[in-house]
A and B are shown apart, each in its own frame.
Chain A
């Protein structure tokens, strides 16, 4: 039965994620930074890693040397005569103290550099953690505030101030290539800044264990040119167009009569639920279910048909609908561009 080898299986497993992050150039690693904050953290990371490697190599070399010498028959008295105490004082006390203090100072300097930025002058984006998705609000957008989910749009080369809080438990916002982690704490507003130095998409995730679907709480940061960003904001600001197609019209009725509308908002329609993500421009997003699946027609169909088998425990219930209703619902959701 097991025809598929280990490598084949591993490839298949990484496929969905690869498809999702295909547009997210580069692995989400602190060592491939793409912004000024992440760059400083990357430098600190390299320095600490280099120190750790150097210490490991030196200690291993000294240990090996000691073993070889004692095997060669040079006994205890010889070692004592050669100043074993000096080795312990220098290698075991002074050197670690110097290295640790230097590493600590460098960490503090990095942290203060990251904190020291005139946050007030930057555009603000509010990020609210939910189990298990990200609500993203743009209070500075012209017109009414823009509300989206699981996707954060910024202007490349421009710092943005993030205001972070949580609606339920503690989460942590982490986009490894752009900035360090900051916790989202209920009842508290933490701030940080972030900057992408070039246009692109960057993978982010929750970095504080927050429940069964913690691993499926991802987001995509989209860095774009100022023109693209303005166009995107304007498009997001618009209310949803009423569907014209008869199947999609039927889908809208299903959406508003079935449970969908009690949790989801579609601006410009009767649906004003506030529990789940705002779906006004669902089709403009790259992923669904907080980075769990690429936003394709097939994935969306499966997600609305039986979310609980795909993301067990999530707030999205499985509601059995007649086939015609679920296809109509799919057609309606696809009009939310």
Chain B
């Protein structure tokens, strides 16, 4: 009886540890520890098409989009792990959507032109960029 109880306790402890570890990993969202960035109402698949339609790729290298080989602006690799966007704002969904829509308002004089991106398209583009880890 005694031995059985010891074994049972050991298994229970292990189970708790595994559960804790899983919860911790889940909270981080990513094995690398980057916070999970999400765009409310953003559709990454639509965003991929929107990126091609607006022509973001002639200035930016964007992983996953073959024609996006531009070397004018920064490459958008691992975008979900960036902490600062546009050289000045924290990388949050709201800031990113604002930057995509009105770069000249956020940073007057920047080389990135306003492309009259709609709110929905900007959210979708942001959602796609946040798939790049």
Which residues of A does B touch, CB under 8 Å? 1, 3-4, 8-9, 12-13, 15-16, 19, 293-294, 296-303, 305-306, 309-310, 323-324, 326-327, 330
Distance in Å from the Cβ of A19 to the closest Cβ of chain B?
6
Ordered by A's residue number, 27 sampled pairs between the chains whose C-beta atoms are within 8 Å are A1-B133, A9-B66, A12-B65, A13-B67, A15-B52, A15-B65, A16-B67, A19-B52, A19-B53, A293-B58, A297-B54, A297-B116, A298-B55, A298-B58, A298-B115, A300-B55, A301-B55, A301-B59, A301-B115, A302-B58, A302-B59, A303-B58, A305-B59, A306-B71, A309-B72, A323-B109, A324-B109
Please classify the interface of chain B as helix (H, G, I), strand (E, B), loop, or mixed, using the class held by over half of its residues. Answer: loop
Point out the residues of chain A lying under 8 angstroms from B56, CB to CB: 298
Q: Which bracket fits the contact residues of B?
A: 20 to 34
A305 touches B115 (CB 8 A): no
Which of B54, B65, B111 is the one whose CB lies under 8 Å from A327? Answer: B111
Number of A-B contacts (CB under 8 A): 86
Point out the residues of chain A lying under 8 angstroms from B131, CB to CB: 3
Known A12-B64, A323-B109; contact A299-B48, beta-carbon cutoff 8 A: no
Residue B57 at the chain A interface, CB threshold 8 Å = yes
Distance in Å from the Cβ of B56 to the closest Cβ of chain A?
6
Which of A12, A16, A309 is the one whose CB lies under 8 Å from B71? Answer: A309
Question: C-beta contact mask, B3-41 vs A, less than 8 Å → 1, else 0?
Answer: 000000000000000000000000000000000000000
Which residues of B does A touch, CB under 8 Å? 48-49, 52-59, 64-67, 69-72, 109-111, 113, 115-116, 131, 133
Distance in Å from the Cβ of A326 to the closest Cβ of chain B?
6
- Closest A residue by C-beta to B132: A3
Please classify the interface of chain A as helix (H, G, I), strand (E, B), loop, or mixed, using the class held by over half of its residues. Answer: helix
Closest 6 CB pairs of A and B: A302-B58, A298-B55, A299-B55, A323-B111, A16-B67, A15-B52
> Could you tell me the distance between the alpha carbons of A19 and B57 in the complex, rounded to whole angstroms?
14
> Could you tell me the distance between the alpha carbons of A298 and B122 in the complex, rounded to whole angstroms?
14
Distance in Å from the Cβ of B42 to the closest Cβ of chain A?
17
Distance in Å from the Cβ of A277 to the closest Cβ of chain B?
17
Point out the residues of chain B lying under 8 angstroms from A9, CB to CB: 64, 66
> Could you tell me the distance between the alpha carbons of A47 and B76 in the complex, rounded to whole angstroms?
51
A12 touches B69 (CB 8 A): no
> Could you tell me the distance between the alpha carbons of A298 and B103 in the complex, rounded to whole angstroms?
13
